[in-house]
Amino acid sequence: MRNMRQVYIALHLVDAQIAKDYLQGAGISAVIKGEYLGSGAGELPVDSYPTVWIVDDDEFEKARELISNYESDRPGDQIYESHWQCPGCGEWIEPQFTECWSCGNQRL
C-alpha cells in the first residue's frame, strides 16, 4: 500500500506549487497540504506553512534528491542559459521553458 510522505516545507503557496510541479515533472505524484493556512499567519503555530507530500513513499529517496536540487537553486539539467529550438516545429523557445509552447515537444 502507498503511504504519503512529506518531502518539503514551503515558505508560501507559490513555492509549494513550484516544488510540487517540479516533482510531477520528474514523474513523482505529489500533493500540497496546508495551502490555506497562510491566511492564519500570526494566529497559528509556526509550523503552519504549506507542505509538499509524495503519494508513494517508495519514491521518497528520489523525491528528496530532486527537492535538494530544487532547494539549491540549481535543479540539475533544468538550468539552461540560452534559447533553444524546438526539435518538432523549429520554434525558438526562451531558456527557462522545457516544453515548446507551439507544439508541446520537450527540450532535448
**Domain spans in the chain, listed from the N-terminal domain onward:** 5-74, 77-108
pTM reported for the whole predicted model: 0.59
> For residue 80, what is its C-alpha cell?
539552461
Indicate if the pLDDT at residue 75 is higher than 60: no
Over residues 16-32, mean pLDDT: 93
Count Cβ atoms below 10 Å from residue 50 Cβ, excluding itself.
Answer: 23
Residue 23's closest CA among 54, 56, 49?
Answer: 54
Indicate if the pLDDT at residue 40 is higher than 70: no
Contacts of 97 (CB under 8 A, 6+ apart): 107
Cα gap 35→22, rounded to integer Å: 17
Tell me the CATH number for domain 5-74: 3.30.70.2350
pLDDT of residue 34: 87
Burial class (CB in 10 A: 0-12, 13-18, 19+), 54: buried
Q: Say how far residue 84 (Cα) sits from the centre of its chain.
A: 22
Over residues 46-54, mean pLDDT: 81
Q: Report yes or no: 89 and 102 within 8 Å, Cβ to Cβ.
A: yes
